[in-house]
Structure 1
Amino acid sequence: MEITELRIDQHGHLQNAADWSPEVADIFAQKDGLILTEKHLEIIMAVRDIYQETGDTPPMRLLIKVLRLRLHDDIDSRYLYRLFPDGPVRYASKYAGLPKPKHCM
């Protein structure tokens, strides 16, 4: 699959979340110079679940709180920035096939 086959918005996010797959996440990440690992996918899948439950991706502090409860206690902002250096909330959402979070610039 090519990124040109996907409908994306002006921010580079999928327009239709149903088009998402782990392969799409890899394509987006590679385009941004990032290779996804199991740790990335763990966060991406959790962000997808949170979005499905709430209809939004929470801001960083709330996201960390939820991820600590759902995944593991050692998640903090440094951990997320190591995985997503250009912005954990924005890029985890992008790679999860979700719209750009309202609170992200």
Structure 2
Amino acid sequence: MSYEVDGQEIATDEEGYITNLADWTPELAEVIAKAEDVEMTDEHWAVVNFLRDYYEEYQIAPAVRVLIKSIKKSMGPEVGNNKYMYELFPYGPAKQACKIAGLPKPTGCV
């Protein structure tokens, strides 16, 4: 499987996570989101950017509980809760958001 952005093929693993984190661009995020049936809004981008910053700091993609707890702390309880996060990313806030953010599959995600 791979994604195509601006005529360039971006390699992924069998689950659609990109294999080279340096290949990520906002344009690629849009392509992945479309493949995931996610319409990117400012709220989606806030989570994607949060995840990228988190990964840069800790070198790990957070599992869903850690993600929601961290987002609640930085963005408030109206964003940092299961219901809202699953509305944004119905196939799992950690798994799907990390895929769109160009990060590896979070640890602890099946």
User: What is the TM-score of this pair, normalised by structure 1?
Assistant: 0.91
Relative to total residues, which structure has the larger helix share, 1 or 2? Answer: 1
Q: Aligned residue for 2:105?
A: 100
**Structure 1 partner of 2:53:** 49
Give SS of 1:5's match: strand
- Number of paired residues? 105
- Which has the larger share of strand? 2
Matched, 1:69 2:81: no
Alignment of 1:8-27 (within 5 A): 8-27=12-31
In terms of mean alpha carbon deviation, does 85-94 or 49-58 score higher? 49-58
2:4 alignment partner in structure 1: 2
List gaps (5 residues or longer) in structure 1. none
Question: TM-score by structure 2 length?
Answer: 0.87
Residue by residue, what CA displacement relative to the aligned partner does 1:16-66 show, whole Å, maximum 9, x if unpaired?
A: 111111111110011122211110000011011111111112222221111
Maintained 8 Å contact 2:44/2:88: yes
Determine the C-alpha separation between the residues in 2 that align with 1:54 and 1:61: 16
One-letter code of the match for 2:37? G
**Larger RCO, structure (CA 8 Å, separation 6 or more):** 1
Given candidates 59, 64, 67, the residue that maps to 1:60 is: 64
Offset of residue 14 of structure 1: 0.7
1:7 CA drift (Å): 1.0
Gaps of 5+ in 2: none
- Output the amino acid matched with 1:57: A
